[in-house]
Amino acid sequence: MSGVHETLTPELRDWLGQQRMFFVTTSPLARDGHLNCSPKGGDTFRVLGDREVAYLDLTGSGIETVAHLQENGRILLMFCAFSGPPKIVRLYGNGTVVYPDHADYARLSAHFPNHPGARAIIRIELTRIGDSCGYAVPLYDFVGHRDLLDKWADKKGPEGLAQYRAKKNRESIDGMTGYEGV
């Protein structure tokens, strides 16, 4: 019913590639800091190696994941099967924020479709790969990806996005350093 894997096997890679949504969880070190859990989708996740994954971080109203990773690197990604056989996969690891001015950004961004609001890539070295049954996860039908964030980012344009990030993504809700990109 559950297990731990040394690497992302071909079967796990295939299963992860079929999922339309995943959840990202991070936490600051401070005991009174706010935990963060964010849903992600829109073809933004990639397996890079046996124990390495990444996802495209899109501009949004919060910057919690980035702030937490810059402080301590701890991150958990959870995938649930909402169709087909039940399954949950949790990917634990140490995450790094790769900004557009970083030497690895161009190489990593080639793995993803173009999103006008991309602000960084979150690269994760996996420390634990676990799966469990998912028997209680409900079944849902996938209708499609929302295009609202891309339309919003297109309308803002590069200068408008930079201004938005400077205003809304400068620090986390706990006052931690947020977006440091150009």
* CATH number, domain with residue 99: 2.30.110.10
Q: What is the pLDDT averaged over residues 144-166? A: 96
Residue 180 located in a structural domain? no
pTM above 0.85, yes or no: yes
- Identify the residue whose tokens are 């990109």: 181
* Predicted local confidence at residue 1, as pLDDT: 59
Give pLDDT tens digits for 65-118: 999 999 999 999 999 999 999 999 999 999 999 999 999 999 999 999 999 999
In single-letter form, the type of residue at position 135 comes to: Y
Whether 175 is in a domain gets the answer: no
Q: What is the mean pLDDT of the chain?
A: 96
Residue 108 forms part of a structural domain: yes
Split into its structural domains, the chain has a count of 1
51 is a domain residue: yes
* Residue 119 domain flag: yes
Domain that holds residue 37: 3-168
**Cα separation of 9 and 1, whole Å?**
17
- What DSSP line would sit under 36-82, residue for residue? EEEEEESS-EEEEETTEEEEEEEP-S--HHHHHHHHT-EEEEEEE-S
Residue 107 lies in a domain: yes
28-54 pLDDT, tens per residue?
999 999 999 999 999 999 999 999 999
Smallest Cα–Cα separation from 181: which of 28, 59, 43, 73? 59
> 46 is written with which tokens?
């990639």
Confidence of residue 2 (pLDDT cuts 50, 70, 90): confident
